[in-house]
C-alpha cells in the first residue's frame, strides 16, 4: 500500500487552473439555441392570460412556450425524498397554477441568449393573484407531520428516509424530574448554496431519437432515471454527462425544472437547446436550506449527566412537497441520556419554492441548537463545556442501541483541546481581552450520518500495463478523481500515474449521487472491488493462462506491486502488459458492484464525528465578530488522502463560519420572494474572514463503514462550527445569541 494515505495533489487541478476542464456550459454544439425562463411575479394564484405575440416577433426568437403550448410530460413519481432525484414535484408550464414567486410561466427560445433575454421582457402575463401563505405564526400553528391528514382530509404519501419523530425511553418525564433543566428556543435562517458555476443544461436530441443532457448535476444516474420517466423514454436512450462541477453542496443532487424544460424544448424543436440559470434565478429555481424554528430541552443531574433530551423543530416547505429539515437528527445519537431522547419534526406548508439539502443538511442546522443548549447547561451546572461532553460520551447509539462501529469523539475532544490550549481558558464570560477586543473561546461536538448506497465501477487493465477506472460517480470539486486513482493503484499494485480515471457519464457503470459525504466509502468501495476483480483475473491468467508463469503457485501466494504480479517464492514476476500480450488480450476488465447493508439495518451504527474549538475577538463598540483561531479534529475513519481531506475540512469550516456569522436569504414579506439574490446582497466568507486553521484526523479503519475503511468527511466538517462560534461569542460578550446568523445588531 503506497498510494492510499499519501497527500497526493489533485490530478484535475492543472486542468482547472488552466481552463481546460470542460464544464457543462463549455460543451460546444453547433446551432445550439438558447432558452430563457420568464418567471412569475406573484407568489400564489394563476395565470389568466399570457400574450407572447411581441416576444415571438422579436429578432432571433424561434419559439415561446407557455402552459398552453408546452408539450405535456408525465408526473414525477415521487414527492421530494432523499432516496430519489426529484428536486421539485410540481412541473411548471403544465397548467396555470402559481405556487411560488419566481415559478416559470414561459420559456423563450432564440438564436442567442441576448435575444432570448430581451424577448422574455416582452411576454405579457395577466394574473389572478391570491393570498399567499408566509412562514408566520399562523402557518407555524398549522404545521403538521408529513404523512398526517391535511386540511382537505387527504393523507400525503411520504417516502421518507427517517421517521419524523423518534422516542427512546421517556424524555419528558426525565426532564421534568431533572435537578437541572434547560429549555430554549433557537432558529436558523434560509440560506442558498450559491455555487460558483450556475445551473446549466444543454439538451441534444440525436437522429436516433436519443437524448443527451450535458447537465450541472451531482447525480447523473438520478437525472437519467427521472428524465426517462417524465419523458416516457427507455433509460438507455437518455445519456447524462457531467465530468466536472463548479460546486454542488447538495443543490445539484436533484433534478430541477430547468433541466426538464430544456429537454422538452429540444425535443419539440428538434434542435439543441442550452438553458443556463442566472444567479438570481438560482434563488427560486434550484433549492435552498429552509429556516428552522427549534426548541431544545435538556435535563441533567447536578453532576452534569444528561437524563433527558427533547428536540422539536418546524421548517417551511411548499404546498406540493414533503421536504423536511431534520434538525433533530444529531440529537438522536450524539450524547447519552439515561432517561430518554425524543425528537419531533413538523413542516409548515407555505408558498415558496422547494428546499433541498445544503452542506451540511440537517445536522449542521440542529447542532447549532443542541450544542448551544449543551453550552448553556455547562454554565448552569458550573461544569467545563469540554468535561460535560466527555461525561456524556457513549459507545452505544442511543437511538438504535447498537454499538458504534468506531467512535473516537473523546479523542477528537481531548486532542483538539490540547492543540487549542483549552486549559488556559478562563471560564467566566467577558473575562478575556486583547486590548480593546473581548476574547471568547467556545467548542462543540458534531456527528454526521454515514450513508450506505450501492455503487458500481469498472476497472480495465490495458495492454500498456496501465489501468482505467470508469464510473458514473462524480468529482464535485472534492478530489474524487485523485482518491479513486489511489484506491485502484494500491489494489492493482500500480504507480498512481499509471491509473486513469473517468467519471460522470451514464454510459459508465451506475453509481450514487455525490451527496451526503458518501462517495469515498461507497463509490470508493466499488472501485476497490473492481480493481480486485481485475487483479484476480490477471492472477488467474498467471496461474492457468497461456505460458502461465506461476503454474505451480496458488492465488493466495501472488501479490501485486510495482506494476507486476509476483509469487511468494520471490521470483521476478511478470508485468500486466507482458501477461496480456502472452495471452493475446488487449485488455482485462474487472467489475465492482458494491451492495452495502442499509445503515439502519447493520449490526453497528456508523457515523462520523468531530470536535471544533473556536476563538473569536469581538469589538464591544461595533459588535463585530472576527474569528482568530479554529482547531478541528475529525473521526472519519481511514484517511485516504490527507491533502484532499484537509481541503474538505477547510471548506467545511468556512461553510460553518458563513452559517454562524453571515448567511441569510431575505424574503420580501409583501411579494414572497427572495430579495438578496446575488453575491453583493448575500454575504459569504472571504479570505479575510478566515484565520489559519488547525486541522487533524484521528479516525481508524472502519470496516463496518466501507471496505476502504473510510467514513464520510465533507459534511461533518461543517456541522459543529456554528455552535462553537456561538458559544465563543457568549464567552466573549455574555450575550447568548440563539438566532443565526450572529449579526452586529444582535450584539449591540
pLDDT digits (tens, 9 = 90+) for 647-690: 999 999 999 999 999 999 999 999 999 999 999 999 999 999 99
Return averaged pLDDT per consecutive 10 residues of the chain, 748 residues in all. 92 95 95 98 98 98 98 88 82 96 98 98 98 96 76 50 92 98 98 97 95 97 96 97 96 96 98 97 96 98 98 96 94 98 97 95 97 98 98 98 98 98 98 98 97 96 98 96 98 97 98 95 98 98 95 92 86 93 97 92 95 98 97 98 98 98 97 94 96 97 97 96 98 98 96
| C-alpha span between 735 and 716 (Å, rounded) | 27
- Torsion angles phi and psi, residue 607, rounded to 5: -145, 160
Residue among 635, 372, 643, 691 nearest 517 (CA) = 635
pLDDT score of 159 = 57
* Strand positions, DSSP E, 479-540: 499-503
Statement: 33-132+196-247+252-285 belongs to CATH 3.30.230.10? no
Nearest-5° Cα angle at 245, 239 to 246: 150
pLDDT in tens, 425-468: 999 999 999 999 999 999 999 999 999 999 999 999 999 999 99
Question: What pLDDT score does 570 carry?
Answer: 67
The alpha carbon torsion through 674, 329, 702, 637 (nearest 10 deg) reads 40
Distance of CA 342 to the CA centre of its chain: 26
pLDDT value of residue 151: 44
- CA-CA distances (angstroms) from residue 262 to 231, 248, 269, 559? 12, 20, 11, 51
Catalytic residue among 145, 276, 715, 745: 715
CA distance 346 to 142: 9
Structure confidence at residue 395 (pLDDT): 98
Where in 476-527 does DSSP place strands (E)? 499-503
Domain 33-132+196-247+252-285 identical in fold to domain 453-594: no
The cell 447493508 sits on which residue? 597
Asked if residues 307 and 301 have their Cβ atoms less than 8 Å apart, the reply is yes
pLDDT confidence of residue 571: 72
Asked if 390 contacts 413 with a C-beta cutoff of 8 angstroms, the reply is yes
Task: Choose which CATH entry (3.30.365.10, 2.40.37.10, 2.40.340.10, 3.40.630.30) describes domain 453-594.
Answer: 3.30.365.10
Asked if 332 contacts 399 with a C-beta cutoff of 8 angstroms, the reply is yes
Looking at residue 81, what is its pLDDT? 73
Largest CA-CA distance found in the chain, in angstroms, rounded: 84
Helix crossing, 721-733 with 642-661: angle to 10°? 50
Domain ranges across the chain: 33-132+196-247+252-285, 292-451+601-747, 453-594
State the CATH architecture for 292-451+601-747. Answer: 2-Layer Sandwich (3.30)
How high is the pLDDT of residue 147? 64
* Helix/strand/coil for 176: helix
Pull the grid cell for residue 32.
Answer: 445550439
Q: What is the DSSP code (8-state) at residue 452?
A: -
Return all residues near 337 (Cβ < 8 A) that are at least 6 apart: 169, 171, 174, 299, 306, 307, 308, 309, 392, 398
Query: What radius of gyration do the chain's Cα atoms show?
Result: 27
Q: How far apart are alpha carbons 41 and 28 in whole angstroms? A: 34
How far is it, in rounded angstroms, from Cα 383 to Cα 187? 26
3-state secondary structure of 165: strand
Three-state SS string over 196-251 comes to: CCCCEEEEEECCCCCEEEEECCCCHHHHHHHHHHHCCCCHHHEEEECCCCCCCCCC
Counts for the chain of helices (H) and strands (E), in that order: 18, 27
In angstroms, the Cα distances linking 372 to 198, 375, 444, 724, 737 are 35, 5, 8, 8, 9
745 included as an active-site residue: no
Q: Note whether 237 and 209 are within 8 A (CB).
A: yes
Predicted local distance difference test score (pLDDT) of residue 1: 60
Looking at residue 569, its pLDDT comes to 63
Q: Count other Cβ atoms within 10 Å, centred on residue 428.
A: 10
pLDDT at 685 (0 to 100): 97
Amino acid at each position: 500500500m503506497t498510494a492510499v494515505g499519501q497527500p497526493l495533489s489533485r490530478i484535475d487541478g492543472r486542468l482547472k487552473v488552466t481552463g481546460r476542464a470542460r464544464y457543462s456550459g463549455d460543451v460546444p454544439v453547433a446551432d445550439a439555441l438558447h432558452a430563457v425562463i420568464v418567471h412569475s411575479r406573484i407568489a400564489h394564484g394563476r395565470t389568466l392570460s399570457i400574450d407572447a405575440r411581441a416576444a415571438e416577433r422579436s429578432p432571433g426568437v424561434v419559439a415561446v412556450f407557455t402552459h398552453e403550448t408546452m408539450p405535456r410530460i408525465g408526473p414525477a413519481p415521487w414527492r421530494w425524498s432523499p432516496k430519489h432525484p426529484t428536486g421539485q414535484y410540481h412541473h411548471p408550464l403544465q397548467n396555470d397554477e402559481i405556487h411560488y414567486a419566481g415559478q416559470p410561466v414561459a420559456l423563450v427560445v432564440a438564436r442567442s441568449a441576448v435575444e432570448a433575454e430581451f424577448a422574455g421582457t416582452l411576454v405579457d402575463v395577466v394574473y389572478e393573484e391570491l393570498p399567499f401563505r408566509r412562514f408566520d405564526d399562523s402557518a407555524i400553528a398549522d404545521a403538521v407531520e408529513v404523512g398526517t391528514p391535511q386540511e382537505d382530509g387527504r393523507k400525503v404519501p411520504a417516502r421518507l428516509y427517517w421517521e419524523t419523530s423518534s422516542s427512546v425511553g421517556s424524555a419528558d418525564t426525565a426532564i421534568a424530574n431533572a435537578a437541572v433543566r434547560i429549555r430554549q428556543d433557537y432558529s436558523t435562517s434560509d440560506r442558498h448554496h450559491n455555487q460558483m458555476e450556475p445551473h446549466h443544461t444543454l439538451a441534444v436530441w440525436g437522429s436516433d431519437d436519443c437524448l443527451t443532457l450535458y447537465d450541472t448535476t451531482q447525480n447523473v444516474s438520478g437525472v437519467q432515471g427521472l428524465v426517462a420517466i417524465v419523458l416516457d423514454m427507455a433509460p438507455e436512450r437518455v445519456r447524462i454527462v457531467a465530468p466536472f462541477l463548479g460546486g454542488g453542496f447538495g443543490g445539484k443532487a436533484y433534478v430541477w425544472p430547468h433541466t426538464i424544460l430544456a429537454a422538452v424544448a429540444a425535443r419539440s424543436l428538434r434542435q439543441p437547446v442550452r438553458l443556463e440559470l442566472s444567479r438570481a434565478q438560482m434563488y427560486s429555481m434550484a433549492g435552498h436550506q429552509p429556516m428552522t424554528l427549534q426548541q431544545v430541552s435538556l435535563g441533567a443531574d447536578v453532576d452534569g449527566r444528561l437524563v433527558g433530551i427533547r428536540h422539536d423543530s418546524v421548517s417551511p416547505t411548499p404546498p406540493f412537497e414533503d421536504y423536511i429539515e431534520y434538525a433533530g437528527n444529531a440529537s438522536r445519537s450524539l450524547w447519552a441520556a439515561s432517561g430518554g431522547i425524543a425528537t419531533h419534526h413538523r413542516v409548515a406548508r407555505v408558498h415558496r419554492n422547494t428546499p433541498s439539502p445544503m452542506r451540511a443538511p440537517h445536522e449542521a442546522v440542529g447542532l447549532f441548537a443542541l450544542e448551544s443548549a449543551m453550552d448553556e447547561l455547562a454554565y448552569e451546572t458550573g461544569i467545563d463545556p469540554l468535561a460535560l461532553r466527555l461525561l456524556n460520551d457513549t459507545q452505544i447509539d442511543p437511538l438504535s442501541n447498537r454499538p458504534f462501529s468506531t467512535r473516537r469523539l473523546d479523542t477528537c475532544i481531548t486532542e483538539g483541546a490540547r492543540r487549542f490550549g483549552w486549559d488556559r481558558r478562563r471560564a467566566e464570560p467577558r473575562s478575556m481581552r486583547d486590548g480593546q477586543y473581548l476574547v471568547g473561546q467556545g467548542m462543540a461536538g458534531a456527528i454526521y450520518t454515514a450513508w450506505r448506497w450501492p455503487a458500481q465501477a469498472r476497472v480495465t487493465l490495458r495492454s500498456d500495463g496501465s489501468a482505467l477506472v470508469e464510473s458514473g460517480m462524480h468529482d464535485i470539486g472534492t478530489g474524487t478523481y485523485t482518491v479513486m486513482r489511489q484506491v485502484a493503484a494500491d489494489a492493482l499494485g500500480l504507480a498512481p500515474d499509471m491509473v486513469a480515471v473517468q467519471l460522470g457519464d451514464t454510459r459508465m457503470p451506475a453509481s450514487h449521487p455525490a451527496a451526503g459525504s458518501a462517495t469515498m466509502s461507497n463509490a470508493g468501495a466499488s472501485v476497490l472491488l473492481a480493481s480486485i476483480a481485475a487483479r484476480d483475473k490477471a492472477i488467474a491468467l498467471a496461474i492457468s493462462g497461456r505460458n502461465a508463469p506461476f503454474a505451480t503457485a496458488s492465488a493466495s501466494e501472488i501479490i501485486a506491486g510495482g506494476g507486476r504480479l509476483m509469487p511468494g517464492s520471490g521470483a521476478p514476476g511478470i508485468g500486466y502488459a507482458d501477461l496480456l500480450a502472452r495471452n493475446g488480450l488487449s485488455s482485462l476488465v474487472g467489475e465492482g458492484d458494491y451492495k452495502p447493508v442499509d445503515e439502519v439495518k447493520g449490526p453497528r451504527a456508523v457515523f462520523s464525528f468531530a470536535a471544533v474549538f473556536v476563538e473569536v475577538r469581538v469589538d464591544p463598540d461595533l459588535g463585530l465578530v472576527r474569528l482568530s483561531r479554529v482547531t478541528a479534529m475529525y473521526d472519519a475513519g481511514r484517511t485516504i488522502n490527507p491533502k484532499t481531506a484537509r481541503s474538505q475540512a477547510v471548506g467545511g469550516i468556512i461553510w460553518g463560519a458563513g452559517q454562524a456569522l453571515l448567511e441569510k436569504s431575505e424574503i420580501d414579506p409583501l411579494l414572497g420572494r427572495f430579495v438578496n439574490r446575488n453575491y453583493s446582497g448575500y454575504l459569504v466568507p472571504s479570505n479575510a474572514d478566515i484565520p489559519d486553521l488547525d486541522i487533524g484526523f484521528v479516525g481508524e479503519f472502519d470496516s463496518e463503514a466501507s471496505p476502504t475503511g473510510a467514513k464520510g468527511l465533507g459534511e461533518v466538517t461543517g456541522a459543529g462550527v456554528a455552535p462553537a462560534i456561538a458559544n465563543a461569542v457568549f464567552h466573549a460578550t455574555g450575550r447568548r445569541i440563539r438566532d443565526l446568523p450572529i449579526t452586529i445588531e444582535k450584539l449591540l
